[in-house]
């Protein structure tokens, strides 16, 4: 496992999972509460993009500081 993944990529994966897109149940609740798919899909996409950006920055910072 260590030969395939570096500590930086492991940390980036953990950050992505923490911030990343919510579960299907959360999307369904947002759709029901908001009255449509617009906010549910916006939440899903927004959190996925945010997770990708933060995890990429964290991996780069780890590599820079290591």
Give the model confidence (pLDDT) of 10-51 as tens digits. 899 999 999 988 788 889 999 999 999 999 999 999 999 999
Map out the domains of the chain as residue ranges.
7-65
Across the range 51-66, mean pLDDT stands at: 93
Q: Are 45 and 20 in contact (CB under 8 A)?
A: no
Angle separating helix axes 37-65 and 24-34, nearest 10 degrees: 140
Please tell me which residue, 52 or 22, carries the higher pLDDT value.
52
CA distances from 33 to 22, 25, 40, 46 (A): 15, 12, 9, 18
pLDDT of residue 1: 66
The model carries a pTM of 0.81
Rounded to whole angstroms, the Cα distance separating 61 from 35 reads: 40
The pLDDT of residue 40 is: 93
Report which secondary-structure segment, H or E, holds 51: helix 37-65
């Amino acid at each position: 496992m260590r030969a395939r993944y570096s500590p930086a990529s492991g940390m980036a994966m953990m950050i992505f999972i923490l911030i990343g897109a919510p579960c299907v149940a959360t999307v369904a609740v947002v759709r029901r509460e908001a009255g449509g798919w617009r906010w549910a899909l916006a939440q899903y996409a927004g959190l996925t993009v945010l997770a990708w950006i933060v995890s990429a920055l964290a991996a780069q910072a780890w590599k820079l500081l290591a």
